[in-house]
């Protein structure tokens, strides 16, 4: 270690602002670097007087342990990660900004991922972990996953964020838990929300609670697993209520406000053209579309809920702010994050456990747009 010391001394003269290391602290405290390390890792293993000397030396020098060096030496980081999608849909953001300036920095603009982040952060903290978050970007050797995966002890991935192929590779290296969306890989831990149950219950509420029978369901694009699951719940409720069971949604949209408006208009126009009565309720696969529909209906002078009931799915803040407030199914997003951490921590402790798949329950929120408020 002579060489090392020499290099350090040289360094001292060369570099502008020396970052203190264990060596500096050890020297100043008159102990070995091992002892300095112990003071931080297992203080009780060091005699009190010694420990004090070290702590004082560290303070005096402004020493902060290097996370990278620790991580490298100990093969753990004390950090959990979350990869979430970059909101591909600009209208999602716009939607929240209703009636406010265009460049508004609006506290109401809470996104799905915000809640998941908060949940994970909370739970991670309880377990002594910090949280590293990153939204998906481009790929390449420098991809998002690589950046995150290399710096954490385990991480969660929101559905459709990362190519499964990449996950497959990385999953061999550290624990991954998949959040929301169907269980694509049965060897990963996985958490989803009860999409089907939620829409089933909501539909049942409209039928038995409000006596509505002419319903219409507006689904997402065919590829969306969440929207499909919700549609299944709708069908199931229809069947159970003895109503006609549609093979396909009455309309589809890309989950945005604009498409919600369009779908509502289309449904109404279609009924008018066919000379049939319009639906008594429109159930949308998500809140954004439902709010869009609210706008469209208002434009047409159709009253909600008097003339028609409208429902969404998710429980976004905007749904509370609109009038009438939106009846919806609320997803436990924060809990999703919390459970993700629990699963990761569990697996870190016992890597050989069977992969688990959780289904989180949802809750319907009966508000104004179905006639409940």
Binding site for DNA (CB under 7 A): 1, 3-4, 7-8, 11, 19, 21-23, 30-38, 40-41, 45-47, 49-51, 63-66, 69-70, 72-75
Q: Are 57 and 106 in contact (CB under 8 A)?
A: no
Q: Which stretch binds its own copies (CB under 8 A): 168-176, 177-185, 199-207, 272-280?
A: 168-176
Q: How many residues does the chain have?
A: 373
Min separation Cβ 56 and DNA, Å: 14
Using the rule CB under 8 A, is 364 a contact of its own copies? no
* 38 contact, one of DNA, its own copies, none, CB 5-8 Å limit per kind: DNA
Distance CA 245, CA 239 (A): 6
Does 89 engage in binding with its own copies (CB under 8 A)?
Answer: no
Residue 325 CB, shortest distance to its own copies, in Å, is: 8
Q: Does 243 bind its own copies (CB under 8 A)?
A: no
- Give the x/- contact pattern for its own copies in 253-292, rule: CB under 8 A: ----------------------------------------
* Span 121-160, contacts to its own copies by CB under 8 A: 121-122, 125, 130-135, 137, 141-142, 145-152
Residue 43 or 361: which CB sits closer to DNA? 43
Q: Which of 191, 333, 340, 341 binds its own copies (CB under 8 A)?
A: 333
The Cα–Cα gap between 154 and 148 comes to: 9
Instruction: Say how many CA atoms lie within 13 Å of 64 toward its Cβ.
Output: 5
CA dist., res. 175 & res. 223, Å (int):
27
Angle between helices 33-41 and 22-29 (to 10 degrees): 110
Number of C-alpha atoms within 13 angstroms, CB side, residue 219? Answer: 23
Q: Per CB under 8 A, which of residues 35..54 are in contact with its own copies?
A: 39-40, 43
Q: How many CB atoms are located within 10 Å of the residue 126 CB? A: 12
From its own copies, DNA, none, interface partner of 105 (C-beta below 5 to 8 A by class): its own copies
Return d(Cα 28, Cα 85) in angstroms, integer. 48
- Within the chain, strands assigned E span 79-84, 130-135, 154-158, 176-179, 189-193, 215-219, 251-252, 281-284, 309-311, 328-330, 357-360, 363-365
Q: Per CB under 8 A, does 101 bind its own copies? A: yes
Shortest Cβ distance from residue 180 to its own copies (Å)?
Answer: 14
Nearer to its own copies, 200 or 367 (CB): 367
The DSSP H or E segment spanning 297 is helix 287-299
Task: Report the residue number, 16 or 75, with the smaller CB distance to DNA.
Answer: 75
């Amino acid at each position: 270690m002579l060489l090392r010391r020499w290099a350090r001394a040289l360094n001292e003269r060369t570099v502008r602002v020396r970052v203190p290391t264990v060596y500096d602290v050890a020297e100043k405290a008159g102990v070995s670097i091992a002892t300095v390390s112990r003071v931080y890792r297992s203080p009780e293993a060091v005699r009190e007087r010694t420990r004090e000397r070290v702590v004082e030396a560290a303070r005096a020098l402004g020493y902060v342990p290097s996370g990278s060096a620790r991580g490298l030496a100990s093969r753990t980081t004390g950090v959990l990660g979350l990869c979430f999608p970059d909101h591909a849909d600009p209208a999602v953001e716009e939607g929240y900004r209703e009636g406010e300036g265009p460049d508004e920095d609006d506290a109401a603009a809470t996104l799905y991922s915000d809640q998941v982040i908060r949940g994970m952060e909370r739970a991670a903290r309880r377990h002594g972990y910090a949280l590293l978050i990153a939204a998906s970007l481009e790929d390449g050797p420098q991809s998002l996953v690589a950046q995150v995966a290399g710096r954490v002890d385990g991480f969660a991935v929101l559905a459709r964020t990362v190519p499964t192929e990449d996950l497959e590779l990385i999953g061999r290296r550290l624990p991954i838990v998949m959040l929301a969306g169907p269980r694509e890989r049965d060897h990963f831990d996985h958490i989803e929300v009860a999409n089907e149950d939620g829409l089933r219950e909501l539909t049942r509420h409209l039928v038995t609670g409000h006596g509505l029978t002419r319903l219409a369901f507006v689904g997402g694009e065919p590829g969306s697993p969440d929207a499909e699951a919700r549609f299944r719940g709708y069908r199931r409720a229809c069947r159970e209520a003895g109503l006609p069971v549609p093979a396909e949604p009455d309309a589809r949209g890309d989950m945005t406000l604009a498409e919600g408006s369009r779908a509502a208009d289309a449904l109404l126009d279609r009924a008018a053209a066919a000379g049939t009565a319009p639906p008594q309720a429109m159930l949308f696969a998500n809140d954004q579309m439902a709010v869009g529909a609210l706008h469209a209906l208002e434009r047409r002078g159709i009253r909600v809920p008097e003339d028609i009931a409208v429902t969404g799915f998710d429980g976004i803040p905007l749904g509370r702010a609109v009038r009438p407030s939106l009846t919806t199914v609320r997803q436990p997003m924060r809990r999703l994050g919390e459970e993700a951490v629990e699963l990761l921590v569990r697996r870190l402790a016992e890597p050989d456990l069977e992969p688990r798949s959780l289904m989180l329950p949802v809750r319907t929120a009966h508000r104004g747009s179905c006639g409940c408020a």
